[in-house]
Amino acid sequence: MSVCVACNISDGVIIGVDSATTLGDPLNPVKIYGGVEKLFPLGELPVGLATYGLASIAGRTIASWTAELTANLPSLIPAEYTMADVAESIRNFFFTQYQESILGAAPPPQSAGEGLPQMLPPVLGLVLGGFSKRSFQSEVWNIQLPYHATGNSATRQFGEGQFGSGWYASMAPIFRYIKGFDPSALQAVIEYVNQIRDPLQPGELEELKKRAERAEFGVVFPGMPIAKGLEYVRFLVDLVIGHHKFAAGNPIVGGRCRVGYVTFDKAPFRIVTEWRSRQ
């Protein structure tokens, strides 16, 4: 398992991940390794790629496959590429390997449902953020294999001028912190209320959900400096790492946080190891 956070702000994209990988069933793992690379520049493109979920395909790590992808990507996208072109090339490259090694002759499933399913076939998640060739506003895309099996099926999470943060894989601690509640807890309250009185009517249910949403912490993303975006993403990734360090069960999210960013200067995606907070 993993955690991945992507933050799209006015000046660019920040992506953060943990550095642990789980081998076998996440609920009963064979082994958990730290020090795993899950965040990558894509050559000279102003685009970064993060992975979550599946640790290897055909005996090769996702990092190894990403190195091969990066070497070939310039020949796979048009000269005047868009982020949609990059997302489709990445989706097609990894799905080809996934289908040959894992699915075989079986048809891919049709829907991923909510979150990252704990079921076979295993999910490979790919998050990419960056800039189209001619754009000065960034985008964030998400791919879940094998569910995004068809061409151009990758999900654009944040388009140009859309600011916010996306959380992927083991993101329950982030959801609780930001939203102020756990969806399963709210559902349990709804089910209990429906047991002790007449079921909530659609209007009542909507009002209950609106009141729960008032607990959400507000974050101002437009105008946030890159340095603060780096701190914010690292904070959220470290929150999940810390949770799994102390909570009962296997530490399926762990190791050290790795964060990278790309800005409108169109330089390649840069991975940051250490930096000082500036007030």
Per-residue pLDDT at 250: 83
pLDDT in tens, 64-82: 999 999 999 999 999 999 9
Same domain, 41 and 132: yes
14 in any annotated domain: yes
**What's the CA gap between 136 and 6, in Å, rounded?**
18
89 in any annotated domain: yes
Per-residue pLDDT at 108: 65
For residue 169 the two structure tokens come to 């894989």
CATH of residue 21's domain is 3.60.20.10
The residues that bridge with 274 in the sheet, in sequence order, are: none
192 in any annotated domain: yes
Per-residue pLDDT at 251: 82
The DSSP output letter for 106 is S
Per-residue pLDDT at 279: 39
The DSSP output letter for 273 is -
**What's the CA gap between 144 and 123, in Å, rounded?**
6
SS3 content of the chain, % helix, strand, coil (to 5): 35, 25, 40
279 in any annotated domain: no
CB-based contact 262:11 (threshold 8 Å): no
Same domain, 42 and 80: yes
pLDDT in 10s for each residue of the chain, 279 residues: 689 999 999 999 999 999 987 776 666 666 777 778 999 999 999 999 999 999 899 999 999 999 999 999 999 999 999 999 999 999 999 999 999 999 875 566 666 554 444 446 889 999 999 999 999 999 999 999 999 999 999 999 999 999 999 999 999 999 999 999 999 999 999 999 999 999 999 999 999 999 999 999 999 999 999 999 999 999 999 999 999 999 988 888 999 999 999 999 999 999 996 544 443
Q: What is the number of domains present in the chain?
A: 2
pLDDT in tens, 245-268: 999 888 889 999 999 999 999 999
The residues that bridge with 31 in the sheet, in sequence order, are: 23
Same domain, 185 and 110: no
Per-residue pLDDT at 278: 42
Strand order in the sheet with 3-9: 164-169, 3-9, 12-17, 258-263, 270-272
**What's the CA gap between 106 and 57, in Å, rounded?**
16
For residue 117 the two structure tokens come to 């399913």
Per-residue pLDDT at 114: 45
Same domain, 12 and 86: yes
Same domain, 238 and 262: yes
Per-residue pLDDT at 34: 72
**What's the CA gap between 193 and 143, in Å, rounded?**
38
Same domain, 239 and 106: yes
242 vs 63, 67, 73, 83, 148, CA distance in Å? 25, 30, 36, 33, 31
**What's the CA gap between 85 and 70, in Å, rounded?**
14
Per-residue pLDDT at 246: 94
